[in-house]
């Protein structure tokens, strides 16, 4: 073997060993999942009606048996704008992951050509014997490949993939939140409708009482004070109606926006006279450990920590030299004095073998004198990593607190509801007795006024209690992170996908827009 052949073989072996090492080396810390700060059981593990068995129904809104609520949530999944934005962020993160993946391969691949006119000064040194005016032609390709020797680009892929998974979890969190917001608005609408119905019933009852006492006054059987007091109570009750009606319209507007509609009338989507959703007697809440995989925001917080961990490796790689393979091949020729005499043009000579030019070889860059900038950037990224790990623990603790709060609220609302049902029953009986005794002349009208005032107040509290109980049920499943498993069939509506395809070449990134659940 010739000396040149041995040298080339040695270069090839060295490059092969270099590539092998490049595939094995990764600087920076490997991710370790943080320990859970949660205990094995809920603090309030003996609340009546709650079971620690795993949740059996992902679509928790079906547990109340209200067709209107189910229909509204399904419609919101299709048309809610916030949810669509969250889905589009998934597509954005997919494209970002594609960018990070592409950086593993030759980062610069260029085909270039030029035709340049050149003219040199006749008065400059060393130009007297040469051609001063000529055209130069070139055509070629070049490739530059920075080897992933320290795992810089693999860490970049780790970070991009973690952020992609965070976008998925954030979307699931948006599904959970939209379902809960629709349910809250729906419960508010039904509670206000019930309040309005009760108010109108009390207005009618108080109107009858006013008519009775007014007749008694006309007959000289009672004083004008009784009439004035009866009128005052009636007007006071009537005055609550406009406020309730305004609140009902506002709740409907809120629901319309959640459905992606203008804040107009959504009564066509609501059945007349439907009650406040009833809470099931028994609810499965699982155990605290399930929050770590059930709550989308907890998963998103962990993926953010994964991305920050990979960023430490990215920054660490800057401490080491970067190795690059560069190669180019091309053709170059020029119109000069000789070709002018022979009648041949430079562009004609461009494709001859004598016009071939090439270069290839490795190179390295090592910014060793950086005055601590790179090392401090590593410290910055490490501090960010620690922030995300602490943020993850805080997210888990806040999630557990929200569950415990919802359990306490639901338990309190249930117990209060039982007592308020008894209170309203007693208040209704007291009103009937007070009116009867007044008509028989055994009690003054003040007793009737007091009883009617108490009845109206307790009926309002009972309706509010029913709404609070239903809202606590929704808050519990919101805190548990339930509902994303039964979310939309696609991350982005088909109409939006079609619009994006017409505007931009998305390749195959828009082909798979169905959640993997």
Within a domain: residue 294? yes
Clarify whether residues 306 and 428 are in a common domain: yes
| CA distance linking residue 455 with residue 459, whole number of Å | 6
427-477 pLDDT tens trace = 999 999 998 988 888 888 888 899 999 999 999 999 999 999 999 999 999
pLDDT at 385 over 90: yes
**Amino acid 116: pLDDT:** 84
Within a domain: residue 388? yes
The answer for residues whose C-beta is within 8 angstroms of residue 395's C-beta and 6 or more apart is: 297, 298, 301
**Could you tell me the end-to-end alpha-carbon distance of the chain, in angstroms, rounded to an integer?**
62
Clarify whether residues 346 and 460 are in a common domain: no
Q: Mean pLDDT throughout 309-318?
A: 93
**Amino acid 314: pLDDT:** 92
Cα distances (angstroms) measured from residue 152 to each of 28, 36, 105, 156, 348: 9, 30, 12, 6, 46
**Amino acid 311: pLDDT:** 94
Q: Which domain holds residue 347?
A: 108-147+322-365
Within a domain: residue 314? yes
Of 179, 229, 5, 202, the closest CA to residue 76 belongs to 179
Q: Mean pLDDT throughout 302-319?
A: 94
Strands 322-334 and 356-365: antiparallel
Token pair recorded at residue 513: 């827009």
Clarify whether residues 71 and 200 are in a common domain: yes
Within a domain: residue 166? yes
Clarify whether residues 425 and 336 are in a common domain: no
Domain boundary among 365, 381, 396: 365
Clarify whether residues 81 and 135 are in a common domain: no
Within a domain: residue 327? yes
Q: Mean pLDDT throughout 183-190?
A: 96
| CA distance linking residue 154 with residue 123, whole number of Å | 56
Going by pLDDT thresholds of 50, 70 and 90, the confidence category of residue 272 is confident
Clarify whether residues 136 and 235 are in a common domain: no
Tell me which of 179-193, 235-249, 278-292 is least confident: 278-292
| CA distance linking residue 419 with residue 462, whole number of Å | 9
What pairs with residue 108 in β-bridges? 144
Place of tokens 């007014």: 214
464-499 pLDDT tens trace = 999 999 999 999 999 988 888 888 888 998 899 989
168-186 pLDDT tens trace = 999 999 999 999 999 999 9
Going by pLDDT thresholds of 50, 70 and 90, the confidence category of residue 131 is low
24-57 pLDDT tens trace = 578 888 988 888 887 767 766 667 767 766 665 6
Q: Mean pLDDT throughout 310-315?
A: 94
Clarify whether residues 95 and 136 are in a common domain: no
Place of tokens 């004008």: 224
Clarify whether residues 281 and 135 are in a common domain: no
Going by pLDDT thresholds of 50, 70 and 90, the confidence category of residue 341 is very low
Clarify whether residues 289 and 182 are in a common domain: yes
Token pair recorded at residue 8: 């080339």
Domain with 264 in it: what CATH number? Answer: 1.20.1600.10
pLDDT at 500 over 70: yes
Q: Residue 71 in 3-state DSSP? A: helix
Q: Which residue has the higher pLDDT, 72 or 268?
A: 72
| CA distance linking residue 199 with residue 205, whole number of Å | 10
Supply the pTM of this predicted model: 0.85
pLDDT at 20 over 60: no
| CA distance linking residue 215 with residue 207, whole number of Å | 12
**Amino acid 221: pLDDT:** 81
Clarify whether residues 271 and 124 are in a common domain: no
**Amino acid 5: pLDDT:** 55
Q: Which residue has the higher pLDDT, 324 or 349?
A: 324
55-111 pLDDT tens trace = 656 789 999 999 999 999 999 999 999 999 999 999 999 999 998 988 888 888 888
Total number of domains constituting the chain = 2
Q: Which residue has the higher pLDDT, 249 or 38?
A: 249
The answer for residues whose C-beta is within 8 angstroms of residue 193's C-beta and 6 or more apart is: 248
Instruction: Report which DSSP code applies to 40.
Output: S
Clarify whether residues 256 and 136 are in a common domain: no
Q: Mean pLDDT throughout 340-363?
A: 70
Within a domain: residue 512? no
Going by pLDDT thresholds of 50, 70 and 90, the confidence category of residue 340 is very low
361-382 pLDDT tens trace = 888 888 887 878 999 999 999 9
User: What are the φ/ψ torsions at residue 280 (nearest 5 degrees)?
Assistant: -60, 155
Give me the numbers of helices (H) and strands (E) for the chain, helices first please.
Answer: 12, 6
pLDDT at 339 over 50: no
Domain boundary among 334, 365, 396: 365
Clarify whether residues 311 and 328 are in a common domain: no
212: exposed, middle or buried (Cβ count in 10 Å: 0-12, 13-18, 19+)? middle
Within a domain: residue 5? no
Residue % of the chain over a pLDDT of 70: 88
Mean pLDDT taken over the chain = 86
**Amino acid 169: pLDDT:** 94
pLDDT at 319 over 60: yes
**Amino acid 342: pLDDT:** 46
Within a domain: residue 11? no
Place of tokens 């068995």: 53
The answer for residues whose C-beta is within 8 angstroms of residue 454's C-beta and 6 or more apart is: 427, 430, 431
Domain boundary among 365, 396, 430: 365
159: exposed, middle or buried (Cβ count in 10 Å: 0-12, 13-18, 19+)? buried
User: What are the φ/ψ torsions at residue 262 (nearest 5 degrees)?
Assistant: -60, 155
Q: Mean pLDDT throughout 395-413?
A: 91
Domain with 125 in it: what CATH number? Answer: 2.20.200.10
pLDDT at 401 over 70: yes
């Amino acid at each position: 073997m010739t000396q040149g052949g041995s040298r080339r073989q040695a270069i090839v072996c060295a490059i092969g060993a270099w590539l092998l090492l490049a595939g094995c080396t990764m600087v920076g810390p490997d991710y370790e999942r943080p320990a859970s700060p949660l205990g094995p059981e809920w603090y309030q593990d003996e609340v009546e009606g709650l079971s620690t068995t795993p949740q059996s129904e992902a679509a928790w809104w079906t547990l109340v048996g209200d067709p209107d609520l189910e229909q509204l949530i399904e419609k919101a999944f299709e048309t809610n704008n916030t949810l669509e934005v969250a889905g589009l962020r998934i597509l954005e993160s997919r494209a970002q992951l594609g960018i990070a993946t592409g950086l593993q391969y030759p980062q610069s691949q260029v085909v270039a050509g030029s035709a340049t006119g050149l003219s040199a000064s006749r008065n400059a040194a060393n130009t007297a014997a040469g051609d001063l005016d000529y055209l130069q032609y070139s055509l070629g390709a070049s490739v530059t490949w920075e080897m992933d020797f320290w795992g810089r680009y693999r860490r970049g892929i780790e970070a991009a993939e973690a952020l992609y998974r965070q976008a998925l979890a954030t979307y699931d969190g948006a599904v959970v939140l939209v379902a809960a917001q629709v349910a809250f608005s729906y419960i508010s609408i039904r509670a206000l409708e019930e309040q309005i119905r009760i108010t109108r019933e009390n207005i009618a009852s108080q109107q009858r009482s006013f008519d009775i006492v007014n007749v008694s006054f006309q007959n000289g059987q009672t004083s004008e004070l009784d009439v004035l007091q009866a009128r005052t109570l009636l007007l006071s009750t009537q005055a609550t109606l406009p406020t309730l009606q305004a609140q009902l319209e506002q709740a409907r507007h809120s629901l319309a926006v959640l459905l992606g509609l203008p804040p107009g009338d959504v009564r066509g989507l609501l059945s007349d006279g439907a009650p406040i959703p009833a809470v099931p007697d028994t609810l499965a809440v699982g155990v605290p450990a399930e929050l770590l995989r059930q709550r989308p925001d907890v998963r998103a917080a962990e993926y953010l920590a994964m991305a920050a961990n990979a960023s430490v490796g990215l920054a660490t790689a800057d401490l080491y030299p970067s190795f690059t393979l560069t190669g180019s091949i091309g053709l170059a020729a020029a119109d000069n004095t000789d070709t002018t005499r022979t009648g041949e043009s430079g562009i004609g000579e461009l494709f001859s073998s004598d016009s071939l030019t090439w270069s290839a070889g490795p190179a390295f860059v090592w910014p060793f004198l950086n005055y601590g900038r790179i090392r401090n950037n590593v410290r910055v990224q490490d501090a960010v990593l620690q922030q995300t790990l602490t943020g993850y623990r805080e997210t888990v603790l806040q999630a557990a607190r929200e569950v415990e709060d919802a359990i306490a609220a639901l338990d309190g609302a249930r117990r209060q509801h039982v007592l308020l049902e008894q209170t309203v029953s007693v208040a209704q009986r007291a009103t009937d007795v007070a009116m009867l005794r007044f008509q028989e002349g055994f009690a003054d009208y003040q007793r009737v006024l007091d009883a009617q005032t108490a009845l109206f107040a307790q009926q309002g509290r009972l309706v509010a209690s029913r709404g609070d109980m239903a809202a606590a049920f929704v808050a519990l499943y919101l805190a548990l992170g339930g509902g994303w498993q039964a979310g939309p069939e696609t991350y982005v509506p088909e109409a939006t996908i079609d619009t994006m395809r017409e505007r931009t070449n998305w390749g195959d990134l828009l082909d798979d827009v169905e959640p993997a659940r």
